[in-house]
Amino acid sequence: MRAAAGPRLAPLAPYARRLRPLYPRPGRTGWRRWMPSWRQWAGAVLSGFFVISLSLFIAYEMTDIPKDLNSFATQQDNVYFWSDGTPMARTGWVQRQDMPLKDIPEQVRWAVLAAENASFYSDPGISVKGISRALWRTVGEGDTEGGSTITQQYVKNVYLSQNQTLSRKFTEAMISLKLDNKMSKDEILEGYLNTSWFGRGTYGIQRASQAYYGKDVTKLNAGEAAVLASMLKGAALYDPTLSKANHQRAVERWSWILDRMVDIGKLSPSQRAKYRTFPEPLKSGRVYDTGKQSDYLVELAQQYAKKAAHISDRDFDLGGYQIYTTFDRGRETALTDAVTKARRQAGRDRPGAAKTAHYGAASVATDGRILAVYGGPDHRKQGYNESNAATVQAGSAFLPFDYAAGLEYGVRKTRSGPATPVTPETVYDGDDGVAVTTPEGPYWDRSGRKVAAHNDGGKSYGRITLAKALAQSVNTPFMQLGMDTGLDNVRRTAVAAGLLSSSMGPQVPALSQGSSTPSAIRMASGYATFAASGMHTEPYSVRRITRNGRTVPLGTPVPRRAVGTRVAEDVSQALTDSLRTAHPAAGSAAGKAGTTGDDTAAWYAGTAESVSTAVVVYRMDLTKSLEPLPLKGLAGTSADDVPYGIWAHAMGLG
């Protein structure tokens, strides 16, 4: 074979000998003896260029524009279900409004182009510089970077995943080149503007315009358009309503985009001069549109679903999730009706105070399921969720946690001595004005005054057992018990039972009298721990998630020991006695009222049939400050306790 081929290849032999490197090269001295000739360099470069060009041509010819669109194009709503499996609410921008390019103002289009790809109408659909930079960063630094044209971004949105890999970047470039030859620039721009994610649950510039400015895109000016164009860089960084840092970034980028529009001749200097004041977007877009009370349920379930199932905002906004909540329709109706009735009564009896009245309530099962919440009068008017807000002090509703800590850890009368066990029959001084002491003597506050404990109404009870003190809501024994047990142990017990450490007050004697600010959900969860024999399960609102029929992995809280079984039983017995003392007809439930020394909050928390409910009533003028105001009789009297009335109705006892 070699013999047959020899004569045919013989004419090429002289050229092959020239290209074949001879080392060391004859006729050269020093380091030049080892360097290729210019012919060899040129041959290598041309060969490399030919190979690369051929490879790109083959890749281009073999790459087809996918026929199937990404899920954004069939974006679905998210469906929420009650605990019985019936639909509760639907959310999401399913009725996405695609806007023809001719209906999108020219200045809006050019604000986006100025921000993302000013050379859009003249480039071939890809950015060689951007792709090179991405390649360099991937190879050299182990990460990827953008630099994409609008055509590339559109391809990524419509046909590809969001994964930042080199192979995806290469495929994106090939499809972009083909798409640029197949579609007009206007068609690509229209598709891009209608499919890009702008944050706040919105895809497409029409929905973004509605979410950020409450109007159609046709009514946007260049200043507002520049704000929306900023969101394409990442709403988490540029939505000015999220943080001060975001606001500063948004203003800087907004100004840069407008200046850039001037630079590329799409905005005159005189037009630019009109936009000196940053056009502040709406504080929040209407993500939910389900109902007055169910919006609060959706809010809680969405927050939990994203966190427990590790779902990103972007994926969640694409929709298609079926979220099976723990909310019980019957209990939700009962709780809402009870609070609504109390609101109306307050409006009739105390119209002045009722204007700034707030009611928060939640029912939590002993296994952690959140069964019902009352978040406010209407989520559309008040997005602030009362059931999940840590705003007012727990007051004497906190005493069961003091009691549990004493029973769990015992007390120390000396710094180095052993702990002495505490039982329900342990006796403390129940008189009003009793000085709080430490092993070294009286406790002095920072102003140099002795700290004393006080009871509601200044009433004294003499020597009293801890069980009776809790049943009768006598404060002074528990303030001293907290000091004897150790405030660190009181705090540890309350947090283990379900209160958030972030809501706990300073570690001073007032901690034992309820200076912490738990939410209604957390207070109900804490009381549920005692009813669950001392086992605490973190409250949760979602039991199962699917997406288009496929199960989404979901982390579910597991029970853990918070206090001993005997301790929980003793606390529950004292709470049962407390309820029977105040409301003899209440049956076998357990519960306790809670008040604050400055009369700014009134609570009732208790358990019946493995469900704990906590109700709080307070006053606060949200237009002025977050400081609680005196109740002025809004919580009723001992004979007509408003929080208890709501609680009893919600629990089926009223």
Per-residue pLDDT at 646 exceeds 70: yes
Q: Are 361 and 374 in contact (CB under 8 A)?
A: yes
Q: Does any domain span residue 499? A: no
Q: For 338-379, what is each residue's pLDDT tens digit?
A: 999 999 999 999 988 889 999 999 999 999 999 999 999 888
- Dihedral class, residue 49 (left if φ above 0, else alpha if ψ from -120 to 50, else beta): alpha
Retrieve residue 492's tokens: 């540890």
Alpha-helical regions (H) of 214-372: 222-231, 235-238, 244-263, 269-272, 294-309, 313-318, 329-349, 351-354
Q: Which of 117, 121, 184, 106 is nearest to 147 (CA)?
A: 117
Total domains present in the chain = 1
Q: Which of 207, 205, 182, 178 is nearest to 194 (CA)?
A: 205
The pLDDT, as a whole number, for residue 92 is 65
142 confidence band (pLDDT: 50, 70, 90): very low
Q: Which of 142, 147, 188 is nearest to 165 (CA)?
A: 142
Q: For 275-286, what is each residue's pLDDT tens digit?
A: 999 999 988 654
Task: Output the CA torsion sign for 622, 623, 625, 627.
Answer: negative
Q: Which of 495, 83, 559 is nearest to 366 (CA)?
A: 559
Q: Are 410 and 419 in contact (CB under 8 A)?
A: yes
130 confidence band (pLDDT: 50, 70, 90): low
Q: Does any domain span residue 534? A: no
Retrieve residue 413's tokens: 């009368």
Angle between helices 106-116 and 222-231 (to 10 degrees): 40
Q: Are 647 and 637 in contact (CB under 8 A)?
A: no
Alpha-helical regions (H) of 370-417: 399-409
Q: Does any domain span residue 585? A: no
DSSP 535-576: EE---BSEEEEEETTEEPP------EE-S-HHHHHHHHHHHH
Per-residue pLDDT at 17 exceeds 80: no
Per-residue pLDDT at 540 exceeds 90: yes
Coil vs helix vs strand at 242? coil
Q: For 467-510, what is each residue's pLDDT tens digit?
A: 999 999 999 999 999 999 999 999 999 999 999 999 998 899 99
Retrieve residue 36's tokens: 């290729």
SS (H, E, C) 62-102: HCCCCCCCCHHHHCCCEEEECCCCCEEEEECCCCCCCCCHH
Q: Does any domain span residue 397? A: no
Per-residue pLDDT at 43 exceeds 70: no
Task: Give strand pairing partners of 544.
Answer: 324
Per-residue pLDDT at 319 exceeds 50: yes
Q: Does any domain span residue 14? A: no
What percent of the chain clears pLDDT 70, i.e. is strictly above it?
Answer: 78
- Helix H or strand E encompassing 321: strand 321-325
Highest mean pLDDT among 32-36, 79-83, 446-450, 620-624: 79-83
Q: Which of 363, 286, 376, 353 is nearest to 326 (CA)?
A: 363
Distance in angstroms (rounded) separating the CA atoms of residues 648 and 654: 5
Q: Does any domain span residue 208? A: yes
382 — phi, psi (to 5°)?
Answer: -135, 100
The pLDDT, as a whole number, for residue 191 is 83
Retrieve residue 247's tokens: 């606001």
Q: Does any domain span residue 442? A: no
- Report the CATH number at residue 194: 1.10.3810.10
544 confidence band (pLDDT: 50, 70, 90): very high
Q: 550-581: string of b/e by CB count within 10 Å (b at 16+)?
A: eebebeeeebeebbeeebbbbbbbbbbbbbbe
The pLDDT, as a whole number, for residue 323 is 94
User: Which range is least confidently modeled, 316-330, 400-414, 564-578?
Assistant: 316-330
Q: What's at 216, amino acid-wise?
A: D
95 confidence band (pLDDT: 50, 70, 90): very low
Distances (CA, A) of 481 to 17, 19, 139, 171, 404: 100, 96, 65, 70, 10
Q: Which tops the pLDDT comparison, 453 or 201? A: 453
The pLDDT, as a whole number, for residue 146 is 45
The pLDDT, as a whole number, for residue 7 is 65
Q: Does any domain span residue 326? A: no
User: Which range is least confidently modeled, 165-179, 243-257, 289-303?
Assistant: 165-179
User: Which range is least confidently modeled, 206-215, 294-303, 387-396?
Assistant: 206-215
Q: What range defines the domain where residue 136 resides?
A: 93-273
Q: What is the mean pLDDT of residues 31-48?
A: 64
Task: Output the CA torsion sign for 181, 184, 189, 190.
Answer: negative
Q: For 152-193, what is each residue's pLDDT tens digit?
A: 777 777 765 444 544 555 566 666 666 666 778 898 898 888
DSSP 482-532: HHHH-HHHHHHHHHHHT--GGG---SSGGGGGT-----HHHHHHHHHHHHT
Distance in angstroms (rounded) separating the CA atoms of residues 331 and 619: 25
Residue 32: DSSP 8-state: G
